[in-house]
Amino acid sequence: MLRTTARLLLGAFLVTAGVAHLLVPAEFGAQVPPFLPAPGVIVLVSGLVEIALGAAVLVAPARVRPATGLTVAALFVLVFPGNVSQYLTGTAAFGLDTDGARALRLVFQPILVAWALWACASWPVLRGWWLGRRRGGARQRS
């Protein structure tokens, strides 16, 4: 029950964030690192991706939820450089107008990754992949 609730909240969070990308793109554009081109396009595409992933988290059958969770976790990892950029450049957005608030946002990102992995039951898949890599690597060295 707790995992289902966490998954539904995650899906709703992603859909809401994705829609917000479309409604207030300037706020999200503040997180696009200055070295990336076309921040407007990046904000639009990332918003659409968040909406699609949020919908998938909400309605995906149990057999594909782990893959969905891994994909959401990957998205959270991929947007992390934007959060770092926002901190380093001191850009205010989403009420993050102090270095302390922006630093706290950085700490929150791994929690989002863990939330996606746990809520979608992706930990066992990730663990199996990791152990398989380690075992395969050990055999190759022998």
For residue range 108-121, list pLDDT tens digits in order: 999 999 999 999 99
pLDDT category, 137, cuts 50, 70, 90?
low
Residue 29 has pLDDT above 50, yes or no: yes
User: pLDDT tens across 42-51, in order?
Assistant: 999 999 999 9
- Rounded average pLDDT over 73-101: 92
Structure confidence by residue, pLDDT tens digits, 58-72: 999 999 999 999 999
Q: pTM of this prediction?
A: 0.86
Can you tell me whether residue 36 is helix, strand or coil? coil
* pLDDT range class, residue 139, cuts 50, 70, 90: low
- Domain that includes residue 81, residue range: 2-141
> What is the domain count for the chain?
1
Q: 139 — phi, psi (to 5°)?
A: -65, -35
Statement: residue 142 has pLDDT above 50: no
Decide if 11 contacts 55 (C-beta within 8 A): yes
